Amino acid sequence: MKILIVDNSGIIPATNYGGIERVIWGLGKELSKLGHEVVYLVKPGSTSDFAEVLPLDPNRDLISQIPDDIDIAHFSHTPLYPVHKPFIVTIHTNPPTDEVLDINTVFISKNHAQRFGSSTYVYNGLDWDDYPNPDLDKKRSYLHFLGKAAWKIKNVFGAAKIALDSGNSLHILGGEKWTFRNFKRGLKYILNPKIIFRGMVNNQTKMDIIQYSKGLVFPVIWHEPFGLAIVESMYAGCAVFGTKNGSLPELITPEVGYTGNNSQEIAKAIKEFDYNPKKCHEYAVKHFNSKVMTASYVKLYEKVISGETINNETPKYIESENIISKFS
C-alpha cells in the first residue's frame, strides 16, 4: 500500500516534546518496515529517512495537496472537505460536542470510543528505540507530574496535594513555576520546597528525571483520551496513580498503578504500593509500542480500501457517557 499520513501538529521527527508527532513517526517507520510506501504531509521543516515528506501548506486547500497515487490517507483530524480517496481519521483529543465526525473515525482508547458510540479504537504506540534505556535498578526517591501544567484539567495542584499527603516530593515536568495562575491558585504549593518545577523539558531530560521517580501522579479532571505521559512513565519504570476519568482505568492495571475517586485514596495507595519498576517497564514495552499499533491500523486500512466503513454509524457525542467523576 501507498499510505499518506497527514498531520499539522508539529515538525517530525519530534526533537523536544511531541505527542502526536511521536505517534505518527513510529507508525510511519513500522509501515515502512512492513514494505509499505509511506508519505507524510506535515509541517514544513520535517524530514524522514524512510518516507517521502511533503510540506503541508496551511494557505492551500488540504484536499488539493493529497497525491493522486496514494491508496489511503490517514488523518490526525477530520478533514473539512470530502476526500476523494479511501481514508481514516484518528481523533487524538476530545472533539467539541457538536463536531461532526466521520464514519471512518478511529479513537485512541476504549473509553474514548464509547463516549462517542463507537467500538473502534487503537491504542497509541511509541517507538521505544527513540527513548533512552531507563535504569530500573536505581533508587527512586520522589514522584513526578508530566503534562501541560497550565491546563486546569491536568490538575497539577491536585497532584501536588497528593504527593505531599503521601509524604513525597513532586517534580513537575511541563510547566513554569512563576506564573500568574500559580500565584492565584497554588501559592502554597509553589512556595513548598518539596514541589519542584522543572519547566518544559526535552525527551532526554524528561527520561533522566522520571527514571528516578517512583511514580507519575496524574489526577486529571477530564476524560483523558489516552495519555502518553502514562505510558512514557511506565516505560521509565514508574507506577501511575490517577483518577478514574477517561482511559485511565483501562490503561492502569493494579500491577502498574492505581486509580481512585479522591486524593486521600490515591495518597494512601502511593504509600502502600508494591513498586516494581521492571514490571512497569515491561508492561509499557509490550502493550504500547508502535509495532502493535501499526498492525491494528493496517487492518483498518485494508478494511476501508475494500469498501467497508470503520464504524457502522457515524460516531456522535453521548452525554450520559461523558460524565466526569467527581474528585476532591
- Let me know whether 317 and 182 are in one domain: no
pLDDT per position as a tens digit, 291-312: 999 999 999 999 999 999 999 9
pLDDT per position as a tens digit, 143-160: 999 998 888 999 999 999
- Let me know whether 167 and 236 are in one domain: yes
Q: According to the model, what pLDDT value does residue 193 have? A: 92
What whole-number distance in Å separates Cα of residue 262 and Cα of residue 326?
Answer: 8
What whole-number distance in Å separates Cα of residue 41 and Cα of residue 158?
Answer: 39
Closest CA to 100 of 119, 123, 74, 81: 81
- Let me know whether 212 and 314 are in one domain: no
- Let me know whether 298 and 256 are in one domain: no
Closest CA to 275 of 225, 327, 233, 320: 233
- Let me know whether 139 and 274 are in one domain: yes
Q: Which three cell numbers stand for residue 255?
A: 500491577
> Looking at the domain assignment, is residue 212 inside a domain?
yes
Run of H or E residues at 210: helix 203-210
pLDDT per position as a tens digit, 172-210: 998 776 675 665 566 677 778 999 999 888 888 999 999
> Looking at the domain assignment, is residue 328 inside a domain?
no
What whole-number distance in Å separates Cα of residue 171 and Cα of residue 143?
Answer: 6
The pairing of strands 87-90 and 105-106 is parallel
Q: Which three cell numbers stand for residue 74?
A: 490517514
Mean pLDDT of the chain: 93
Q: Dmax over Cα atoms in the chain, in whole Å?
A: 60
> Looking at the domain assignment, is residue 10 inside a domain?
yes
The rounded percent of the chain whose pLDDT value lies above 90 is: 80
- Let me know whether 137 and 275 are in one domain: yes
- Let me know whether 179 and 102 are in one domain: no
The pairing of strands 257-260 and 87-90 is unpaired
- Let me know whether 282 and 161 are in one domain: yes
Paired with 241 in beta bridges are: 217, 258
- Let me know whether 105 and 189 are in one domain: no
Asked if residue 118 has pLDDT above 90, the reply is: yes
Out of 36-45, 80-89, 225-234, pick the least confident: 80-89
Location of C-alpha cell 485511565 = 248
Provide the whole-model pTM. 0.94
What are the φ and ψ backbone dihedral angles of 104, each rounded to 5 degrees?
Answer: -100, 35
Domain tally, the chain: 2
- For residue 250, the domain's CATH number is 3.40.50.2000
Range of the domain at 298: 2-127+292-322
- Let me know whether 300 and 259 are in one domain: no
